[in-house]
C-alpha cells in the first residue's frame, strides 16, 4: 500500500495514485551493493561486476510490478562515488547511458515512468540529455516508476533543499516560520514521490551510506546476503516476505491495546 509522500501529514493514509503518477503499490528502494566483490571473487575486473549489475537491474525491474511494487528507487551513483578511480567513474557513467539507450523503448512500452533523482549539476551534458529525454518520453506512464538516484547523496539533497528554502526567504517568498517537515521534503529532489516503504541493501553490508536520509524515517530496512549482480525477482520476493512480517507503527502503538491499557481505560 503506498502512502502520500509526507509521513508527517498522515502516515497511515493510503493513496490510490501517487502525486507524480504511479499506481497504488509499494515503494521499494535498493542499494545495489557488491558488484566489485562479485567480480573479484571471479578474478574479473570491477567493470564486469557493474555490467552484470545492469543485467540484475533489468531482471529486478521486470519482476517488481508482479510483486506489488509500483515504485523502485535504485542507488546508481552517489555523490561520494566521484572518489573512485576515473576509469570506474567513467564506466558507471557509460553504463547509465547505455542502459537508457538500450532499454528506453521497452520501458516506455511497459508503462514505466523514469525519474532521475539527485544533483543534475556536475553531470556531463550528454548524460543529462539522455536521462532527461528518458524522463520526457515516459512522463505519461503510470504503471510503474523507476527512480534512479544518480549523483545523489542524502546529505547533499538536504543541503540543496535548505539552500532552496533560504533562497525563498531571501527573496521574500517565505518566512522562516513557514518551514514545516512537509514543505521541506517538497524541496528534496525525490519530491513528490512518497517515502520508501522498504529499503534493501545487498551484499551483507548493513548501513545506509547516505541514501534517502530524510525519506528513510519510517522505512523498513532489509539486508540481504547476495551480491547485486546475482540479484533478481526471487531475492526481491524474499525481501518482501521479510517486510510483510514487520509491524509498522509510525511512532504510534499497535491497533490491539494490551491488557494494561484495557485496565487503565476501564478504570
Ligand atoms: C556498488 O557496488 C554499486 C555501485 C556503486 C554502482 C551501482 C551500479 C550499477 C548496478 C550499474 C549501473 C546502474 C544503472 C542505474 C544503469 P560496489 O562497486 O561498491 O561493490 P563492492 O562494495 O563489492 O566493491
Residue 118 backbone phi and psi in degrees, to 5: 130, -170
Inside any domain, residue 251: no
Given ligand 1 and candidates 29, 50, 146, which is best to mutate, with the most ligand atoms within 8 Å of its CB?
50
Q: Answer for the pair 23, 17: CB distance below 8 angstroms, yes or no.
A: yes
Q: How far is the CA of 39 from the centre of ligand 1 (A)?
A: 11
Inside any domain, residue 7: no
Q: Residue 158 in 3-state DSSP? A: helix
Inside any domain, residue 155: yes
User: Does ligand 1 come within 6 angstroms of the Cβ of 147?
Assistant: no
Residue-level pLDDT at 21: 58
pLDDT digits (tens, 9 = 90+) for 74-84: 999 999 999 99
Distance between CA atoms of residues 165 and 175, nearest Å: 9
Query: Quick one: which atom of ligand 1 is closest to the CA of 38?
Result: 23
Triad 97, 80, 194: Cα angle to 5°: 70
Structural domain including 117 reads: 20-244
Kindly report the protein residue whose alpha carbon is nearest to atom 10 of ligand 1.
53
Active site positions, annotated: 33, 81
Residue 152 pairs in a beta bridge with 78
Query: Quick one: which atom of ligand 1 is closest to the CA of 50?
Result: 11
Inside any domain, residue 255: no
Residue-level pLDDT at 22: 61
Residue owning grid cell 499506481: 23
Residue-level pLDDT at 249: 82
Inside any domain, residue 113: yes
Residue-level pLDDT at 8: 38
Distance between CA atoms of residues 187 and 165, nearest Å: 8
Kindly report the protein residue whose alpha carbon is nearest to atom 16 of ligand 1.
96
Query: Global pTM?
Result: 0.89
Distance between CA atoms of residues 211 and 118, nearest Å: 11
Domain count, the chain: 1
Residue-level pLDDT at 254: 75
Given ligand 1 and candidates 29, 36, 118, which is best to mutate, with the most ligand atoms within 8 Å of its CB?
36
Q: How far is the CA of 92 from the centre of ligand 1 (A)?
A: 8
Q: How far is the CA of 245 from the centre of ligand 1 (A)?
A: 29
pLDDT block averages, 10 residues each, the chain of length 267: 41 47 84 98 98 98 96 98 97 97 97 97 94 97 97 98 98 98 98 97 98 98 98 98 91 66 47
Residue-level pLDDT at 262: 46
Domain of 196, CATH number, reads 3.40.1180.10
Inside any domain, residue 266: no
Kindly report the protein residue whose alpha carbon is nearest to atom 15 of ligand 1.
76
Given ligand 1 and candidates 40, 42, 85, 92, which is best to mutate, with the most ligand atoms within 8 Å of its CB?
92
Amino acid at each position: 500500500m503506498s502512502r502520500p509522500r509526507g509521513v508527517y501529514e498522515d502516515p497511515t493514509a493510503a493513496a490510490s495514485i501517487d502525486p507524480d503518477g504511479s499506481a497504488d503499490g509499494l515503494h521499494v528502494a535498493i542499494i545495489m551493493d557488491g558488484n566489485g566483490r562479485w567480480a573479484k571473487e571471479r578474478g574479473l575486473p570491477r567493470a564486469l561486476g557493474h555490467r552484470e549489475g545492469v543485467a540484475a537491474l533489468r531482471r529486478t525491474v521486470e519482476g517488481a510490478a508482479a510483486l506489488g511494487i509500483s515504485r523502485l528507487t535504485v542507488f546508481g551513483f552517489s555523490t561520494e562515488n566521484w572518489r573512485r578511480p576515473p576509469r570506474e567513474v567513467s564506466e558507471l557513467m557509460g553504463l547509465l547511458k547505455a542502459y537508457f539507450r538500450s532499454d528506453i523503448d521497452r520501458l516506455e512500452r511497459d508503462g514505466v515512468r523514469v525519474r532521475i533523482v539527485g544533483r543534475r549539476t556536475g553531470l556531463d551534458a550528454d548524460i543529462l540529455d539522455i536521462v532527461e529525454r528518458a524522463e520526457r518520453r515516459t512522463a505519461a506512464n503510470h504503471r510503474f516508476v523507476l527512480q534512479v538516484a544518480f549523483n545523489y547523496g542524502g546529505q547533499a539533497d538536504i543541503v540543496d533543499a535548505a539552500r532552496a528554502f533560504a533562497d525563498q526567504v531571501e527573496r521574500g517568498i517565505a518566512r522562516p516560520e513557514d518551514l514545516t517537515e512537509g514543505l521541506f521534503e517538497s524541496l528534496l529532489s525525490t519530491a513528490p514521490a512518497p517515502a520508501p516503504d522498504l529499503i534493501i541493501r545487498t551484499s551483507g553490508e548493513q548501513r545506509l551510506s547516505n541514501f534517502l536520509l530524510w525519506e528513510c524515517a519510517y522505512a523498513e530496512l532489509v539486508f540481504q546476503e547476495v551480491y547485486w549482480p546475482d540479484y533478481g525477482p526471487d531475492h526481491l520476493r524474499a525481501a518482501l516476505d521479510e517486510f510483510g512480517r514487520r509491524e509498522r507503527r509510525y511512532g504510534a502503538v499497535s491497533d490491539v491495546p494490551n491488557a494494561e491499557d484495557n485496565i487503565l481505560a476501564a478504570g
